[in-house]
Amino acid sequence: MKNLVQTAVDTGIFKTLIKVVREAGLVDALSIEGPFTIFAPTDQAFAKLPKGTIEKLLKDKEKLTYILTYHVILNEVMAYQVVNMKKTNAANGKELTINTKKGLKVDKSNIIKTDIKCTNGIIHVIDRVLIPK
């Protein structure tokens, strides 16, 4: 079993996520013991962002880090636990909303695959990039 970053690299569907995590300097932080839960947007999720968004964020590392840490919970939360939550705090201090009315959602993103176990946490795959309010 590999850590969160290594697992995300190996799946092949998180190339953009890995790129922005590297640019933000978060690889080491997400490779330590944890545990963490990451709501990981796929490459397709990043492709849904307005044109030029990623390039703008790459020039503003503080904002990029703020958005990326909005995808992380500082604890290991399996899907069976997520479905019983209404809200949880992200690593950046903001609140994430969990909704189970039409599938499993975190904020406005669908959780499309759950419980990818890693040595230092869990990955849940999402179909949209989470942007804090």
Per-residue pLDDT 10s for the chain (133 aa) are 999 999 999 999 999 999 999 999 999 999 999 999 999 999 999 999 999 999 999 999 999 999 999 999 999 999 999 999 999 999 999 999 999 988 899 999 999 999 999 999 999 999 999 999 8
Q: Looking up tokens 């932080």, which residue turns up?
A: 29
Structure tokens at 76: 């290991």
Fold annotation for 4-126? FAS1 domain (2.30.180)
pLDDT digit string, tens, across residues 86-119 = 999 999 999 999 999 888 999 999 999 999 999 9
Residue 102: predicted pLDDT: 87
Helix axes 61-69, 15-24, angle to 10 degrees: 120
